[in-house]
Structure formats: C-alpha cells, structure tokens
Chains A and B, each alone.
Chain A
Amino acid sequence: MYPSPEHTWRPGARTFYWCSAIAVMLIWLTPIFLLLNTALKSNEQINAEQGAKFTIPAPLLPEGFWVLLGNPAFWSSMVYSFLVVLPVVCVAVSFATLAGYVLAKHKFLGRTWLFAIFVAGNFVPFQVLTFPVLRMMQDLGFGDWSPYNTLWALILFHGAFQTGFCVFFMRNFIAALPTELIEAARMEGANEFQVFWNVILPLLRPALAALGLLIFTFVWNDFYWSLVLTQGDLMLVPTQLVNLASGQWQNRWNVMAGGAIIVALPPLIFFFFLQRQFVAGLTLGARKG
C-alpha cells in the first residue's frame, strides 16, 4: 500500500497529516457550503448583503426551494428529464451489451477497427455533430411530424451517443470474463442467443448496474443538447434552470442555489447509495497494467 498506513508514522507526521487532511477537505467543500448557505437565506438578506457570503441565515428560509417546486415549468422539466433519461439508459445499455459481447468474444475480420470506431466516436467533441443532427431531427419523421423539439430527438441522440461509451465499457468488461464458459455452453449445443442470455447476461449484473448509473448521470447532467434540440418548456432540467435563472429569477440567488441543489439531487442520491458501483464503473481499465 502506498503511502504506508498513517498509524505507522511518527507522531509529528501523523498530526501534520490529520491537520492537512481536514484543512484540504474544508477548502474543497467551501463552494458547496456557500451554495447551501445561500439557498437557506431570504431574498431580503441576500439583497442587503449584495451577494453570497458566509453569514448566518436569519430568518432561516428554504424559500429558494419552495419557489422552484411551485413552478410548473421547472416541475415539468424534471418529469421530462426522467422521461428522456430512462429510455436512453435502456436503449444504450442493451444495444451496447449485445455489441460488446460480439466485439469481446467473437473473432472476425475488422473487429479491432469496429471497436476503435466506437471508442473514437465517443471521444469527438460532440459539438461537431450539432448541425447535421439538428437537420436530421427536422428532416426525419412521418407526415408533418418530426422529432425536432420533442423528447424523441433527445432520446434518439443521447441513446446513440451514449452507445459509444457503453460499447467501450461492456466490451472491456466481457473480455475479462472466462472464454471457457462460452466454449462449454457451445459444446452443449447452445446457440449464440442462448449463450448470451443464459451464460453472459447473469455475469453482467454488477456491470449493468454500474453502467446504467453512469449513463443516467451523464444524460441527466446534459445541458447542450437540450439547448439545441428543444425549446421552451420541453427543456430538460439543467437547461431549464439556466433559462429561468437568466430570465424570471435573475439575481434571485437563493432560488438559483436551491435550484442547483434540486438538479444535483437525483445523481447525488444514486451516488451516495451506490458509491461502489459508480467507482467500479469509472475505474474500469485504470487498474489494468
């Protein structure tokens, strides 16, 4: 283990370690404390103080939260966010698991290239996709219906874009599973679908959970695509928050702070309850070598 456990250190070094660790944590959390502090103040107090600083909220008012929770546009954005995120997670994870299995365990010409394409596509600055995707969303569809400015546009795009990361993740996870299991199942006469369903899938449960959480967080936090592909009330919740904060609630700092906290809550709740899955998902590959 590096560094060596702190209880084996000299007393002076231990004191220094603990002091610095606590100090670093306090500095690290200062912006968060300021946000919480601001969210709990009344509008009058913030105006009198002309900004956000560490003072005791008097009166202690969670006004910032109430204003937003009473706003229909914000509420519906919250619902829309879930309506987009959940299908995206399902589509991206299931498609990528199928593809990841083949890329990991089948040997065929061009397999490396195909994998490389998924990885590379996942790395592009996604802004380069903006105008063609926008045009496609306006051009796709039936009759005079097109996915532009509906939740379908966001579901389609995010589903596709996240598939890249999911394929990368799943391929690496499945590649680490023992090939003998698959060989054995094939000897028993199982076809590829049975191998996938009965042998691979049960082993993937932890990976599916981790990946689902990551994709949930990525898509929930997205700001850009909702700005480009939807307008008005259909915006997802981070975009709606910025929209409201630059319009209706300009300079209402407690409302902005409360809104930021509400937007951050769903991923945070998942993170604190399922921390191990999160960390395991993120560090796939970091342990290798």
Chain B
Amino acid sequence: MSFFVDAWQSIAPSGLTLWLFGLVAVTVIGALTLGRLFRYGPARILFLAPAFLLFAVFVLYPIAGSTWMSLHDVRADRLVCADGREIKELEEGEYCRRVQKMEWVGLDNYRRFFAKTDRNIERAGKELAKLNPVKFTEDGVGWDPSTMSKGRYPRLTDAGEALLNNLIWLIMFQVAIPIGLALAVLLNQNHFVVRLMKPTFFFPFVLSPTVIAFLFQFFYNTADGAPLMWLFNSIGWGKDGILGTDGWSNIGIIVAAWYPQIAYCVIIYLAGLTAINAELIEAGKLDGASGFTLFRKIVLPQLWPATFICVVVTTIGALRSFDLVHVMTVGGQKSEVLARLMYEVGFGENGGNYGYGATISVILFLIMLVFIIFFVTNMVRQADD
C-alpha cells in the first residue's frame, strides 16, 4: 500500500497543475452541457477553448500576477513551500515544492521607483569617484558632502534614467517610419533591377536582435580606419565611439534598432503603395498638384492604414526594447531602459528582487496601456467594418 502512496506522491501534480486540469475539465464539460442550449455553441466553445486557455494562463493571468507581485516584497532566495508552510516546519526528509515568499508591502516598490536621487547616495558616490577624488567623512562612514557638491551630482535615479531613455526610444524610434516610407517610394518600380534590390531591403527584418546587436557593434567599432571612425573623430568622441559616450550610447542603440524596423516599414509601405488609387493621382495631376504637394495631399492620406500599422509596431518595439541594450552596452553609458532595468533588478548581479522588478514591468505596461487602448479600439473598429 505504501508503495502506491509513494509512487503517487512522486508523480502527483502540484497545486497549480491540478487547478489547470480542473479549469480545462470545467470548460469542456461546461461547453458540452450548457452549449447544447445554443446552436453551434459546443463547437464554438471547443474551438475557442484551447487558444483562450493557453493565452489566459500564460499571458492574461501573468499581467494580473505582476501587478499583485509589485505590491509585495519578493526575493529570489527567500523561499517557502507552495502550500504556505515555512521550510523549517517540514519534517525530516519531507519534500515540498518551493516558491518565493510574498510579503505585503503596499506601494513601497512604487515609492522606490519614483524616489528622488538623494536616496541613491551610493550611486552618487560611484559617479563622483569617476570624476574627482571624493573624500570620506572623518569617521569614514559616508561621503563628505562638501566634496560631493563639487562634482556632477547625478540628477536622475536609475529608474528615472531608464524612464527618460524609454521616452527617447519612443520618440526617436518613430524616425524609422519616414525613412521606411522614403525607401518604399524609391523602390516602388517594376524594373527587374529594382525587383532584385527589394529583398536586400527586406531581409534585416528576419534577423535576430542579437545578430543586429553584433552587426552594429562591429559597425560602431573604433579601430583606426573603421567605417564610422571619421565621424566619431570629427564629433570628438574619439576612441569612445558612440557606444562609449554617456547619453549618446542610447541613440546609437536606437539607430541599430532602426535597421530591422525600417525594413519592416518598407515592406508595409510597399504593400500600401500597390493599393494606391491611380485615378485619384491622375485627378490630382490634372488639378495641377505635383511633386511634394501631390505626395502629401493625395498619396499620404491613402497610405494611412500602412502608417497606422507602422506606428503600432514601432511603438510596441520601442517599449519592448531589451535585447539590443543588453547585448550592446549591458545598460552602461546611460543607455538603461525600463525592460533591462527590470531584468537587472530581477536577475542581475545584485538582483533577485522580484517584487521591485515586477513593479518596473508594471510601470512599463501602464505606459503601453495608453497606446494599447488606442490601437485596439482602432483595430476593432476596422475589423467591424
């Protein structure tokens, strides 16, 4: 008998798995019984259930989960049993599934995110140590404030810097759209040479961000005679290059991110250009419009659906930016963004603070939510027509 108990315990589903099985069972049984009341009901629910359940469990629920977690202090290394018992309560040899302990702290994590710089004295010291020798106070406990005020006191916290950089991303990344539009107009010809050229403008879209990161690390390298060295020298960055210069590294990464994004916009705009109404253009020409006026008044309005898609994907891409920053600068040289700061807080060297990490990600999500509501209402309206 005990053999069966042991065997069951070694394969028994954990709490969460049981819940999931229950959810699936309830949905299917519910669909089959209740659904008979409506025509096509059972089929409809059975068709929808797999996609919706998977999506609900791994995408919708985690959004709520992150919000809940952001109100707690959760540390990677502070574990309890999944059923709520402390690990030291366990009996000798007893096994339990371990999860991080969640301790309610209210809005503390958000307060930390929006805190002012002076709480970040350690970082101030680090910044100053780079610039000029900082003296300790006489008892050696902290930094002497009189030496600190001489240096450049960092006005932004880590979080503020990441927030600002994300804002710069959000604005600068949109530049990919007009560039993509210009290239699409350039490439919208039927000559066979142009047809051969098109894929060379499309393909960066299928490159992994890590590949893009390597590509631009090479492109931005600072050997004598490197492709961009003349530019770095003339601006005065010298051997630091764009990625080694505070403040500019963020711009350098955004330009690297343009590469696949421009490719995407070219693809979208070329498709949009094929749907242009030729009669409208002829009519415009008859009315005397030409050159830029013709483009702005007649072509651009017809490209609105393409522009909308480009703005959507570019905005999402700007707020999701993680890979390029992580590979190219690891957030150094003032290029930190919220997504990477979250990773650093959660999994970095001095990380393990899941609660604060979740807070950062929720703030990122709230920024995105404004756009999501706008985008989705627009898309659903389009879909309803």
A285 to chain B, nearest CB (A): 6
Whether A102 contacts B47 by the Cβ 8 Å rule is yes
**In the complex, which of the residues B54, B185, B207, B371 has the most CB atoms of chain A within 10 Å of its own CB atom?**
B54
Is B146 positioned at the interface, with any CB of A under 8 Å from its CB?
Answer: no
Smallest Cβ-Cβ distance to A119: which chain B residue: B376
A109 to chain B, nearest CB (A): 10
Taking CB atoms, residues of chain A closer than 8 Å to B203 are 268, 271-272
Smallest Cβ-Cβ distance to B321: which chain A residue: A125
Whether B58 contacts A283 by the Cβ 8 Å rule is no
Taking CB atoms, residues of chain B closer than 8 Å to A124 are 59, 63, 365, 368, 372
Whether A275 contacts B199 by the Cβ 8 Å rule is yes
**In the complex, which of the residues A32, A115, A196, A286 has the most CB atoms of chain B within 10 Å of its own CB atom?**
A286
Whether B197 contacts A25 by the Cβ 8 Å rule is yes
Taking CB atoms, residues of chain B closer than 8 Å to A260 are 210-211, 214-215
Whether B214 contacts A125 by the Cβ 8 Å rule is no
Q: How far is the CA of A112 from the CA of B14 in the complex (A)?
A: 35
Is A152 positioned at the interface, with any CB of B under 8 Å from its CB?
Answer: no
Is A209 positioned at the interface, with any CB of B under 8 Å from its CB?
Answer: no
The tally of CB-CB contacts under 8 A between chains A and B is 349
Given contacts A1-B276, A28-B200, A128-B63, contact A123 B43 (CB under 8 A): no
Q: Could you pull out 9 A-B pairs where Cβ atoms are within 8 angstroms? A: A31-B219, A115-B383, A130-B357, A143-B12, A223-B326, A238-B209, A264-B208, A264-B211, A279-B271
Is A199 positioned at the interface, with any CB of B under 8 Å from its CB?
Answer: no
Contact of A34 among B40, B219, B270, B379 (CB under 8 A): B219
Is A181 positioned at the interface, with any CB of B under 8 Å from its CB?
Answer: no
Taking CB atoms, residues of chain B closer than 8 Å to A227 are 343, 347
Residues on B facing A (Cβ under 8 Å): 9-17, 20, 40, 43-44, 47-48, 50-52, 54-55, 57-63, 65-66, 69, 74, 82, 95, 97-100, 183, 185-191, 194, 197, 199-203, 205-211, 213-216, 218-219, 221-227, 259, 264, 267-276, 278, 281, 299, 304-306, 309, 312, 316, 319-320, 322-323, 326-327, 338-339, 342-343, 346-347, 354, 357-358, 361-362, 364-365, 368, 371-372, 375-376, 379-380, 382-384
Taking CB atoms, residues of chain A closer than 8 Å to B320 are 125-127
Q: How far is the CA of A102 from the CA of B40 in the complex (A)?
A: 10
Whether B48 contacts A131 by the Cβ 8 Å rule is no
Whether B62 contacts A129 by the Cβ 8 Å rule is yes
Q: How far is the CA of A192 from the CA of B323 in the complex (A)?
A: 43
Taking CB atoms, residues of chain B closer than 8 Å to A191 are 43
Taking CB atoms, residues of chain B closer than 8 Å to A275 are 199, 202
Whether B16 contacts A136 by the Cβ 8 Å rule is yes
Contact of B14 among A140, A253, A261 (CB under 8 A): A140
- The dominant DSSP class at the B interface is helix
**Interface range, A side:** 35 or more
Contact of B218 among A34, A264, A267, A268 (CB under 8 A): A34
Taking CB atoms, residues of chain A closer than 8 Å to B342 are 127, 130
Whether A21 contacts B223 by the Cβ 8 Å rule is no
Q: How far is the CA of A3 from the CA of B364 in the complex (A)?
A: 41
Q: How far is the CA of A161 from the CA of B48 in the complex (A)?
A: 15
Q: How far is the CA of A141 from the CA of B17 in the complex (A)?
A: 6
Whether B218 contacts A221 by the Cβ 8 Å rule is no
Is A215 positioned at the interface, with any CB of B under 8 Å from its CB?
Answer: no
B247 to chain A, nearest CB (A): 23
Q: How far is the CA of A172 from the CA of B368 in the complex (A)?
A: 24
Taking CB atoms, residues of chain B closer than 8 Å to A52 are 218-219, 221, 223, 226
Taking CB atoms, residues of chain B closer than 8 Å to A288 are 305, 382
The 3 closest A-B pairs by CB, nearest first: A51-B223, A132-B65, A192-B43
